[in-house]
């Protein structure tokens, strides 16, 4: 039923490191859909082209800035003038995404997160006098109403836009229950952050020499954190715990707003010889770096429900590489760790608890190797291949059924 059908998806980033969106686009393309992903150009990565063909789908990147907005940001910095440039850039990016999406005249539109839901709703539902409305899917990667720095305006916007959504996806069952209760609606469809399956043999065959890259001895334990360097990820507690690690080098692989602070804090603590920073790498090559680790960290802090309910990519990426996990004791993450035996649960707010977990694995290589084997044995339960059929059925059912004639937006236009 997918033959000849087209899907346009939107994502508010440069689509360089978004593993979830990549999996979804590949799945659509493999199912026979004509897929276009509308993303953003990135001034920090000028090599990324405005148009790119990859893995059977097309990426279109739009520029969210003009000369005046760039000038305002450059001269204004973090002042109100700079913030005005950022705000205007956001509006320009939205309009250019809308124009690109409407020109493509897709059979279905897909929004990744709330910051692209207005664009998708515009293309699928609004002001379509001569065109029939088409289905709209909203894939919320985060809990938009309970994130650091997000307020009631987000709740009101998401609640209003939900009326135009034909299918709502979220990241796990805990978040689905939360959303259903919050909005008095049927639970969204959980589509987990499970990676595409790769055998440990294929990963090891492509393993990058992270020890050599960092000038470390081959037998030095790499204690790896991979992912965004952002507030609330437990990274400050990790640095405070590092002096208590009996051996090993902490490697932070990724980028983010917190990186300058973490670099400064590393120097303040005198840890420059024990903590190394590696810039983020393309998602396609990430596991080649992960496979070097003795253990991996998933130590989110409980600063909002979005963190408390998370099941991040990195948890399953560590497991797929046979890397035991030092993990925060939150319900979803704890369930995976306890069911699989793939790691140790710690109090992620306590440097002492993190250090105790790390030292337990450093002092007991046999335990570490057993957890590695358990992770590899469990990972088939936590791969994209489990969720992929569920994911595709959402689109098949919508495109077979069409959009109901009594959709709210049709009543609005009449």
CA atoms of 327 and 310, how far apart (whole Å):
12
Q: What's the pLDDT tens digit per position in 370-402?
A: 999 999 999 999 999 999 999 999 999 999 876
d(CA 218, CA 35): 44
In CATH, the architecture of 6-194+385-413 is 3-Layer(aba) Sandwich (3.40)
* Angstrom distances, CA of residue 395 to CA of 2, 82, 142: 9, 41, 21
Measuring CA to CA, which residue among 6, 249, 264 is closest to residue 134?
Answer: 6
**Per-residue confidence (pLDDT) for residue 46, from 0 to 100:** 84
Q: Give the per-residue pLDDT at 414.
A: 26
- Segments of 260-299 assigned E as strands: 275-278, 295-298
Q: Which CATH class is domain 200-382?
A: alpha beta
pLDDT at residue 76, rounded to an integer: 66
Ordered by start, the domain boundaries in the chain are 6-194+385-413, 200-382
151-200 pLDDT, tens per residue?
788 999 999 999 999 999 999 999 999 999 999 999 999 999 999 999 99
DSSP string, 3-34: TT-EEEEE-SS-SSS-HHHHHHHHHHHHTT-E
Residues of the chain with pLDDT below 70 are: 1-3, 67-74, 76-77, 81-83, 85, 128-130, 148-149, 402-414
């Amino acid at each position: 039923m997918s033959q000849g059908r087209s899907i346009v998806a939107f994502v508010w980033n440069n689509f360089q490191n978004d593993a979830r969106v990549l999996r979804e686009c590949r799945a659509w393309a493999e199912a026979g859909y004509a897929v276009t992903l509308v993303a953003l150009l990135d001034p920090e990565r000028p090599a990324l082209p405005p148009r790119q063909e990859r893995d059977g789908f097309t990426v279109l990147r739009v520029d969210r800035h003009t000369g005046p907005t760039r000038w305002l940001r450059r001269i204004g910095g973090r002042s109100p003038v700079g913030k005005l440039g950022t705000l205007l850039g956001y509006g320009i990016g939205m309009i250019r995404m809308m124009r690109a999406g409407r020109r493509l005249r897709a059979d279905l539109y897909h929004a990744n997160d709330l910051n692209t839901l207005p664009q998708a709703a515009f293309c699928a539902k609004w002001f379509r006098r001569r065109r029939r409305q088409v289905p709209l899917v909203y894939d919320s990667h985060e809990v938009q109403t309970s994130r650091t720095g997000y307020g009631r305006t987000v709740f009101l916007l998401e609640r209003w836009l939900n009326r135009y959504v034909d299918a709502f996806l979220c990241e796990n069952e805990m978040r689905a229950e939360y959303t259903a209760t919050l909005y008095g609606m049927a639970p969204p469809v959980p589509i987990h952050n499970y990676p595409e399956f790769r055998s440990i043999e294929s990963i090891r065959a492509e393993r990058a020499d992270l020890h050599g890259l960092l000038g470390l001895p081959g037998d030095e334990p790499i204690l790896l954190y991979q992912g965004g360097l952002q507030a609330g990820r437990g990274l400050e507690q990790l640095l405070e715990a590092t002096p208590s690690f009996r051996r090993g080098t902490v490697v932070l692989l990724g980028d983010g707003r917190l990186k300058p602070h973490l670099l400064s804090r590393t120097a303040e603590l005198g840890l420059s010889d024990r903590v190394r920073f590696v810039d983020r790498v393309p998602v396609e090559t990430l596991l080649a770096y992960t496979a070097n680790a003795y253990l991996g960290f998933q130590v989110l802090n409980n600063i909002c429900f979005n963190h408390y309910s998370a099941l991040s990519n990195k948890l399953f990426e560590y497991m797929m590489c046979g890397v035991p996990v030092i993990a925060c004791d939150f319900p979803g993450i704890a369930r995976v760790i306890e069911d699989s035996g793939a790691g140790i649960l710690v109090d992620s707010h306590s440097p002492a608890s993190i250090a105790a977990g790390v030292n337990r694995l450093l002092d007991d290589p046999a335990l570490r190797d057993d957890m590695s084997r358990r992770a590899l044995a469990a990972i088939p339960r936590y791969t994209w291949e489990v969720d992929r059929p569920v994911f595709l059925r959402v689109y098949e059912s919508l495109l077979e059924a069409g959009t109901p004639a009594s959709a709210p937006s049709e009543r609005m236009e009449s």
